[in-house]
């Protein structure tokens, strides 16, 4: 399949995304929160709030539309990296208006990386958050394009992590997370998972991403969702439902910037994590 490079820069706008506290609470449950975090799962809480990483949910349909437009092979692509940049706390209910576009297609030789960016505003026009999705399309490179440039990481301060905690997942984690919108059968169908080389259905990478955001809020943000300004990370290895996620956060040489990694055992499953606070 040949990528359609003519889609680069073309705006993609779908129907507005309307939601209530139920969708945000379901997302919170999907990334492992529960009765210990009533502010995120119970609408009766006086301080009910929305996990910042919920922003990937309303923008995912635009990403799927963009991948279809660019003629990406949906059967072989891999989610490479994810960034969310926050401009204001997400309201606990409302209607969101998002617009996205393919901003770049990088030629990596045997594969290609499709960069998709979205911008989301509230019904009143307030800019709430932006997302950047890096999608690796296996077997669709070699078209003579630029390789793209790597974004340098802030230097990490030597020493142990300033925060380290193990977050368990359950065998049903993917079954629950998929109810927020990512219905890819790879996360639930054992036969399909084995057919493509996995021992069992894998956990959504964005579920692990959401767990990492939980750790950021719990540690360097002191549970103040207004302080996190952006979080980016690379998906390095697959996670299986039931795995224990060890989140490690390190200080960096830059002010209000932290490095983050997530491990299963000794294997990094989320790497190149950068958290920026404001």
Catalytic residue at 202?
A: yes
Tens digit of pLDDT for each residue in 28-81?
999 999 999 999 999 999 999 999 999 999 999 999 999 999 999 998 899 999
> pTM for the whole thing?
0.96
Cβ–Cβ under 8 Å, residues 191 and 176? no
Is the same domain home to 266 and 208? yes
Catalytic residue at 182?
A: yes
Q: Which long-range contacts (CB under 8 A, 24 or more apart) does 183-191 make?
A: none
Containing domain of residue 127, as a range? 5-138
pLDDT mean over 158-183 = 97
The pLDDT, as a whole number, for residue 1 is 85
Is the same domain home to 201 and 80? no
Percentage above 70 pLDDT, the chain: 100
Rounded to the nearest integer, the mean pLDDT of the chain is 96
Q: How many domains does the chain have?
A: 2
Catalytic residue at 251?
A: no
**Residues 57, 62, 115, 202: which is the catalytic one?**
202
Is the same domain home to 127 and 180? no
Is the same domain home to 13 and 130? yes
The pLDDT, as a whole number, for residue 69 is 97
Catalytic residue at 130?
A: no
**Residues 57, 141, 187, 204: which is the catalytic one?**
187
């Amino acid at each position: 399949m040949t990528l359609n490079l003519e889609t680069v820069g073309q705006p993609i706008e779908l129907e507005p995304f309307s939601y209530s506290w139920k969708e945000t609470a379901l997302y919170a449950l999907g990334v492992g929160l529960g009765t210990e975090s009533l502010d995120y799962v119970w609408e009766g809480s006086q301080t009910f709030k929305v996990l910042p990483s919920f922003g990937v949910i309303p923008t995912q349909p635009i990403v799927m539309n963009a991948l279809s437009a660019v003629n990406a092979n949906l059967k072989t692509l891999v989610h490479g990296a994810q960034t969310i940049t926050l401009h204001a706390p997400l309201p606990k209910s409302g209607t969101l208006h998002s617009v996205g576009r393919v901003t770049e297609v990088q030629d990596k030789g045997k594969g290609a990386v499709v960069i998709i960016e979205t911008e989301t505003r509230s019904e009143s026009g307030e800019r709430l958050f932006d997302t950047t999705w890096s999608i690796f399309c296996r077997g669709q490179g070699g078209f003579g394009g630029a390789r793209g440039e790597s974004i340098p990481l802030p230097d990490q301060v030597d020493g142990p992590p300033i925060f380290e905690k193990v977050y368990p997942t359950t065998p049903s984690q993917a079954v629950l997370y998929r109810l927020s919108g990512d219905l890819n059968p790879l996360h639930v169908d054992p036969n399909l998972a084995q057919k493509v080389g996995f021992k069992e259905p894998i956990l959504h990478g964005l579920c692990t991403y959401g767990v990492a955001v939980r750790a950021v809020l719990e540690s360097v943000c002191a549970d103040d969702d207004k302080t996190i300004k952006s979080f980016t990370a690379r998906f390095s290895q697959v996670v299986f439902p039931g795995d224990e996620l060890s989140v490690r956060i390190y200080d960096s040489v830059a002010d209000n910037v932290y490095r983050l990694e997530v491990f299963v055992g000794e294997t990094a499953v989320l790497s190149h994590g950068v958290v920026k606070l404001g």
